[in-house]
Structure 1
Amino acid sequence: MHLQEIFKGLTLSEAHKNILSEKLKKTTISKGETLLHPNDRALHQFYVESGCLRSFFTDKSAKEHTIQFAIKDWWISDYTAFFKKEKAILQIECIQDATLLRLSRDDMNEIFDKVPGVERYFRIKTESYIGSFQKRIIGDLSKTAKEQYIDFVNTYPNIEQLVKNYHIASYLGITSESLSRVRKEIARN
């Protein structure tokens, strides 16, 4: 694990690196495996060293709504459940073999107390996540499918080789057929 790559901009002493190495538990997960199920306790958040995951919600009519893709250098969890200590509403599945670093809420708080700058790092990550999420909601309400797709490609460059079309369509809130039409329209222009 390359802590300096994860915690960019922080100067970490050997003692701080040891604390982080002790608290961030490396785990691997294979394509098709589920990391978190609805109604589980979201006890961890996960840093993606390699691979690709997605979080999604399945509605009452069994339609999937992809909330997030997590690729290298991204964090993923059911954050409402993680921070509020509630049961998960999201499912997290592995869509490409992944190596992850797992961090519990208690270990995160201990790191905050012992490693200067890490709490600020997570605050900035959280602020960015909230801003991106709000921007996405506004985009979903006000942008065309084409504009949403362009935003998606800019947010997740090169991800299309990793995920299925129906995952992208569920992220955009459109059908796979609509996604095909949007791609054809963009290709023509």
Structure 2
Amino acid sequence: MNFQPLLNYMKNYVSLTQEETEFLVSKLVYRKYLKGQYILQQGDVSKAQCFITKGCTKMFFVDDEGQEHIIMFSIEDWWTSDLGSFSTQSPTDFNVQCLEDTETIQFHIDSIEEIFEKIPKMERFFRQIIERAFVASQKRIIRNFSMTAKDRYVFFRETYPKIEQRIPQYLIASYLGITKEFLSKIKSQLALEN
């Protein structure tokens, strides 16, 4: 089990002593998932915050008509889970499914308070992560209201170049809130412009 990717990521936010690192690692859970497996399903209660060390996931909800709506994708060095469900321990509205074989390092609900107690700076670390996620979510809402579908796609492609090659086009279309046919038209249009 290699916890180093998470520890390297955390160095951007907090500095841990050797003793704190050892305690933290003793509380972490390493978990592998196969492509197609669910980390979280609608109606379940989220028991872990997952840091992805390898792979790719999609977070989505299914509406009453059975239509899938993609909320976000996550790849290496990103987080996935339903934060609302995790913090309130109530059923989630979302699914998190692996688009590739995926490896995660997980902070479980049973040990998070103990981690915060023993290593108070971990609370600051999580606050910073949550603040960044919240800001990104708000900016995405603004983009959805203020940008054309074409501009949203260009923004997605420029902002997440490593994701586009790994994800089927129909999923990107769902994330952008358009049909796959419309996404094909946008891509054809952009190809002609270049």
Q: Please, what TM-score do these two structures have when normalized by structure 1?
A: 0.94
Query: Aligned pair count?
Result: 189
Q: In structure 2, do the counterparts of structure 1 residues 80 and 116 end up closer, same or farther at CA, with 3 Å as the change threshold?
A: closer
Give ranges in structure 1 of 5+ residues lacking alignment: none
Match of residue 100, structure 2, among 76, 79, 96: 96
- Alignment partner of 1:169: what SS? helix
Q: Find the aligned partners of 2:18 and 2:35 in 1 and give their Cα distance.
A: 35
Alpha-carbon distance between aligned partners in 2 of 1:166 and 1:179, rounded to the nearest angstrom: 8
* Cα distance change of structure 1 residues 108 and 168 upon mapping to structure 2, 3 Å threshold: same
Q: Say if 1:68 and 1:171, in contact at 8 Å, map to a contact too.
A: yes
SS of 2:60 mapped into structure 1: strand
1:11 positional shift:
2.1
Deviation at 1:92, TM superposition (A): 0.6
Q: Distance in 1 between matches of 2:146 and 2:182?
A: 17
Q: Shift of residue 78 of structure 1?
A: 1.3
Query: Which residue number corresponds to residue 47 of structure 1?
Result: 51
Gaps of 5+ in 2: none
Partner of 1:6: 9
Residue 152 in 1 paired to residue 156 in 2? yes
Shift of the alpha carbon at 1:179?
Answer: 0.8
Identity between Structure 1 and Structure 2 (%): 37
Shift of 1:116: 4.1
Q: Confirm or deny: 8 A CA contact 1:7 1:118 kept in the other structure.
A: no
Range 79-88 or range 155-164, more displaced: 155-164
CA contact (8 A) 2:45 2:85 kept: yes
Structure 1 residue aligned with 2:125: 121
Tell whether 2:179 aligns with 1:187. no
Give, in whole Å, the separation in 2 of the partners of 1:22 and 1:44.
Answer: 15
Superposition misfits of 4+ residues, deviation over 4 angstroms = none
In terms of mean alpha carbon deviation, does 125-134 or 146-155 score higher?
A: 146-155
Please tell me the root mean square deviation across aligned C-alpha atoms, in Å.
1.3
Counterpart pick for 1:29 among 22, 33, 36: 33
